[in-house]
Structure 1
Amino acid sequence: MTPRSALRRYMLVNFLTWLPLGLMLPVMVLLMTERGLSLAQVGLVTTVFSVVTITLELPTGGLADVAGRRVVLAASAAFTLAALALMAVSTTVWMFLAMAVLKGVGRALSSGPATAWYVDTLHELEGPDADLGRGLARGGAMESVALCAGVLAGGFVPLLVPPGPLPPLAVPAAGGAVAAAVLLVVALLALPEPAREHASAVTARGLLRGVPATVGEGVRLVAGAPVLRRLMLVAAGSGVALTAVELLTPGRLAELAGTAEEGSTAYAIVAALGFAGSAFGSAMAPRAARLAGRVTGAGGPSPVAGAVAGTVLTSASVGALAATAGLGGAAGLITAATAYVVLFAGLAVAGLLCLEMTHKAVDAGRRNTVTSTSSLALQGGAAASNLGFGALATGAGTVAAWSVAACLIMASALLFVRMPRTSPAPAPQVRSGSG
C-alpha cells in the first residue's frame, strides 16, 4: 500500500460512513410521524439514540485500540445496516426504539477508527513525522461532501420516487442501508490492519481485560496531558457552536420563510450549504495553518494559529446571526444562510487542525480512546448548551442566546494561548489485558 492509496481508502470510508446520516436527516422525523408516532415518542427515540451513543463512546474507542480498527469499523457498518433496514420497515414505537439502539451502537463504533487507521497506516509507511494535515483535511472534506449530498438526496428522493413496496419517505433509509453494506465490504477487504506497538492476538479474555484498561489509560492520558486537556475543552466549545445553530436556526428560518413547511425546506437547503462550507473549511485547513504560520512568524505551518483563526471566524458568524436577527424577508434569509455557511467553514478549519494536534499528542495504542474522549466532550458541550440556550432563548430571546454563544466560542480561543507542544506521551511499558 502507498500513502496515496491509503488516503483514497480513508476518503471512501469517510464518505460511506456519513452518507447514511445525511440521507436520514431530512426525513427521519417525518417518517416516524407518518408511521403514527407522536412528537413525544419521536423525542424518546432520539433520546435513546443519544444515550446509547454517549454511554458506549469510550468503551468502543478502547475496543478499537485493543481489537483493531478494521473489525470495529466493520461492526459499525453492520449495526448501521441493521438499524436502517429496520427503520425502513418499522411501524411501531418499539421497532423504532430498537432501531435507535442499533443506530446508537453503530454511531459509537464509528467514532474514530477510520481516522486512527489512516494515521497508523501513514506512520507505518512514512514514519512518525509523516504529514497528517493533508490527508485528515481531505478525509474531513469527504465527511461534509457525504452529508451535503445525503441531505439533498434524502430531501428530494421522496418527491421523485413513486409509491411501491416501500413508501417514499422510507427510501432514503433503504439507501443508507445499501451504503452501510458497501462500507462493510470495504472495511473487511480494503483496510489491512497496520502493525501497532503492543498489539497482540485478540481473545475474549484479552478484550474483557484490555478494553477497560485501555479506556483507563486514555482517560488518564487526557487528564495528565495539558495539550489534550485543552483540546477536550475546545471540543466542548465546538459543541456549543453546533447547538447555537442547530437548535435556533430552524425557528429563525421558519419565521423568515413564513410557514413551518417552507422553513423546513429552507433549512434543508441551508444545511446542505453548511455542509458544503464545512467541506471547504476542511480542505482549506492545511493552507490556513501555513498562512497563519507566515503571519505569526512561526517559520512553518502553525496548526495552533490556524485553529485560533477558525475559532474566531466561528464566533464572528454566530455574532452575525445575532446582529442580523432584526432583518426580514430575503435579506434576512441571505444573511442567515451566509453566516451559517461561514460558521461551518470556520468550525471545520478549527476542528481539523485540533484533530491533527490530538493525533500528534497520542500513541497508537490509545489513539482511538482519546479521539472518543474528544467526541464525548463535544457531545457534552452540546448537551449542556441545549438546556442552557433553550431556556435562554425562551426567556430572553434568540438574539440573547446567540450573543452568549458567540462570547463563549470567542473565549474558547484563549485555550490556544501558550499551547503546549504536541509530542506523543510515552506508551505504557506493559499493556494491560494483552490476553
Structure 2
Amino acid sequence: MTARSALRRYMLVSFLTWLPPGLMMASMVLLMTGRGLGLAEIGLVVTVFSVVTVTLELPTGGLADVIGRRMVLAASAAFTVAGLALMSVSTTFWMFMLSGVFKGVARALSSGPATSWYVDTLHGIEGRDADLRPGLARGGAMESVALCLGVLAGGALPLLAPPSLIFPLAAPPLAGAMAALVLLIVVVFALPEPGHGRRSLAGVLREVPATVIGGVRLSLGGAVLRRLMIASAASGLVLMSIELLTPGRLAELAGTAEEGSLVYAVVAALGFAGSALGSSLAPRAARLAGGSARGAIAGTVLTALSIGALAATAGLDGPPGVVSAGLAYVCLFVGGAVTAVLCLEITHNAVTAAERTTVTSTSSLSLQSGGIVANLTLGSLAAQAGLAAAWSAAAVVMLASALLFVRMPAPTGSSPAQALPARSGSG
C-alpha cells in the first residue's frame, strides 16, 4: 500500500463514519416527539447515549490497541447500523432507549481507531518522521463535509419520502443505517493492518485494562499530553456552550421555534463547512505560525474571539442578529478545526502504536468532560445573567487555554520517552 492509497481510504472511512450522525441530526428529536415521547423522555434517551459513550470511551480505546483498529471499527459500524435501523422503527420509549445504547456503543468504538490506523500505516510506509499534518487535515475535513452534507440531506429527506411507504421523519435514520452498512463493508475489505496474533478471551481481558491504565498514566504524566487534555476539556466546554445556547438564540431571532429550527440547520451546516475549511487550513496555519503549537494558539485565539463576538452581538435583533451570529459561528468552527487537527498531530507524535487509540480516547473523554461542566454551569449562568455573560465566560476559558501551547515541549516522534519528560520531573 502507498501513502496516497492509505490517505484515500482514511478519508473515505472518516466521511462514512460521520455521515450517519449528520443524517439523523436534524430529525432525531422531532422523530421521537412524533412517536409520542415527551421532552423528559427524550432527555433520558440522550443522557443514556452520553453515559454509555463516556463509560466505554477508554475500554474501547484500549481494545483497539490490543486487538486491532479494523475489528473495532467494524464493530462500531455494526452497532451504528443496529442503532439507527432500530431508531427508524421505534415506537416506544424503551425502543428509543435501546437505540441510544447501541449508538453510544458505536460512538465509543469509533473514537480514535481510524486515525490510529492511518498514522500506523503511514509510519510503516514512511517511518516515524512522516508528516502527519496533511493527512490528518484531510481526514478532519472529510468528517466536517460528511456532517455538513448529512444535516442538509437529513433535513430534506422527510420532505421527499413518500408518506405511504414510511413515516417521513424515519427516513433520515434509515438512510444513516444504510450509510453505516457501506462503512462496515469498506472497513472489512479496505483497511488491511498487520495481524495482532491469536488471543484468548482471557488474554484480551487482561491486556485491555493494562493498556488503558498505561495510556491514562501517559496522558496525565507527561507535560505535552497533560496540556493537550486540558485544552481538549476547554474545547468541550466551548462546543457545548454553542450547542446549548445557540438554538434558543436563533429561535428568538427568527420569531418561532419552527423557523428557528430551519435557521439553526442552515447555520449548523455552515459551521460544519467552516470546520472543513479550518481542517484544510491547519497545515498552512502551522507553517505560517512557525510550528504546530503556534498554529494551535492562532486557532484557539480565533475561536475565543468568535465566542466573544457572539457575546457582543447577543443584544442584536432581527436579520443583523442572525447574520452576526452566523458569521461568528462559522469563524468559531474554522478556528476550532485548526486547533483540533494540530493537537491531533502533536498527540500522535507523542505516543507509540501500543497506546495510540487509548490516548486519543482519553482526549475525547476530556472533551466530553468539558461539555459536562458547560451543561452544569453555563445554562444556569445564561438564565441568571444572560447569553452575553455565558458566552463571555466561555471566551475567557478558551483564550486562557491558548497559554497551554506556549513553550510546549515538542515531541521528537521516536518514542514516548523522548517525546515526554519523566513523570516525576513534570509534577
TM-score exceeds 0.5: yes
Which secondary structure state, in structure 2, belongs to the residue aligned with residue 248 of structure 1? helix
The answer to whether 1:401 aligns with 2:401 is no
Match of 1:251 in 2: 248
Partners of 1:218 and 1:243 lie apart in 2 by 26
The one-letter code sitting in structure 2 at the alignment partner of 1:201 is R
Q: Equivalents in 1 of 2:199, 2:327: separation in Å?
A: 50
Q: CA deviation at 1:194?
A: 3.8
**Hey, what does 1:53 align to over in structure 2?**
53
Q: Which residue matches 2:115?
A: 115
1:161-201 CA-to-partner distances (Å, cap 9, x unmatched) read 22133211000111000011011111110000147xxx543
- Equivalent position SS for 2:416: coil
2:228 to 228, 231, 234: 231
1:150 alignment partner in structure 2: 150
Superposed, which structure 2 residues align to 1:55-94 within 5 Å?
55-94=55-94
Given that residues 239 and 379 in structure 1 are in contact (C-alpha distance below 8 angstroms), is that contact kept between their aligned partners in structure 2?
yes
Q: 1:322 aligns with which of 288, 303, 311?
A: 311
Residue type of the alignment partner of 1:216 = I
Letter aligned with residue 377 of structure 2: G
Q: Are the aligned partners of 1:239 and 1:380 in contact in 2 as well (CA < 8 Å)?
A: yes
Q: Kindly report which structure 2 residues correspond to 1:325-404, keeping only aligned pairs within 5 A, or say none.
A: 325-404=314-393
* Aligned counterpart, 2:423: none
Q: Give a deviation string over 1:112-160, Cα, whole Å, max 9, x none.
A: 0000000000000000000000000000000000000000000111112
The question of whether the paired residues in 2 share the 8 Å contact of 1:6 and 1:121 is answered with yes
The answer (yes or no) to whether the contact 1:363–1:426 under 8 Å persists in 2 is no
C-alpha distance in structure 2 between counterparts of 1:202 and 1:241, whole Å: 42
**Could you tell me how far apart the structure 2 residues matched to 1:72 and 1:141 are?**
23
Q: How many residues align?
A: 416
Give the CA deviation at 1:206: 1.6
How big is the shift at 1:327? 1.4
Secondary structure of 1:37 counterpart: coil
Shift of 1:362: 0.3
User: What is the Cα deviation at residue 426 of structure 1?
Assistant: 4.2
- The separation in 2 between residues aligned to 1:42 and 1:32, in whole angstroms, is 7
CA distance in 2, matches of 1:367, 1:111: 11
Letter in 2 for 1:49: F
Deviations 1:362-389 (A, max 9, x none): 0000000000000000000011111100
* Superposed displacement of residue 223, structure 1: 1.5
Would you say the 8 A contact 1:84–1:176 is kept in 2?
A: yes
Q: Tell me if the contact between 1:120 and 1:194 (Cα under 8 Å) persists in the aligned partners.
A: no
Secondary structure of 1:255's match?
A: helix
Provide the C-alpha distance between the structure 2 equivalents of 1:33 and 1:262, rounded to a whole number of angstroms: 17
Q: Is the 8 A contact 1:241 1:409 kept in 2?
A: yes
Residue 412 (structure 1) aligned with residue 401 (structure 2):
yes
Q: For 1:155 and 1:202, how far apart are their aligned partners in 2? A: 45
Amino acid across the alignment from 1:422: P
* Counterpart residue number, 1:164: 164
Q: 1:82 Cα shift?
A: 0.4
Q: In 1, Cα distance between the equivalents of 2:199 and 2:104?
A: 24
Mapped to 2, the partners of 1:164 and 1:221 lie a distance apart of: 56
Q: Whole-Å Cα distance in 2 between the matches of residues 239 and 26 of structure 1? A: 21
Deviation for aligned residue 1:245: 1.1
Offset at 1:203? 2.2
Partner Cα separation in structure 1 for residue 60 and residue 165 of structure 2: 36
Q: Which amino acid aligns with 1:412?
A: S
AA of the residue aligned to 1:394: A
The structural deviation recorded for 1:421 is 1.9
Structure 1, residues 311-366: CA drift from partner, whole Å, max 9, x if none?
A: 00000000000111121111111100000000000000001000000000000000
- Matched with 1:277 is 274
The corresponding residue for 2:424 is none
Unaligned runs of 5+ in 1: 294-301, 428-435
User: Structure 2: any 5+ residue segments left out of the alignment?
Assistant: 419-427
Q: 1:242 pairs with 239, 244, 252, which one?
A: 239
CA distance in 2, matches of 1:279, 1:67: 31
Q: Which residue of 2 aligns with 1:127?
A: 127
Letter in 1 for 2:183: L
State TM-score, norm by structure 1: 0.94
Identical columns (%): 68
Aligned residue type for 1:425? P
- Counterpart amino acid of 1:268? A
TM-score, scaled relative to structure 2: 0.96
Any conservation in 2 of the 1:121–1:194 contact (CA below 8 Å)?
A: no
User: What whole-Å deviation, never above 9, does each CA across 1:220-275 have from its counterpart, x for those lacking one?
Assistant: 11111110000000000110110121111111111110111100100000000000
* Structure 1 CA distance for aligned equivalents of residues 56 and 406 of structure 2: 33
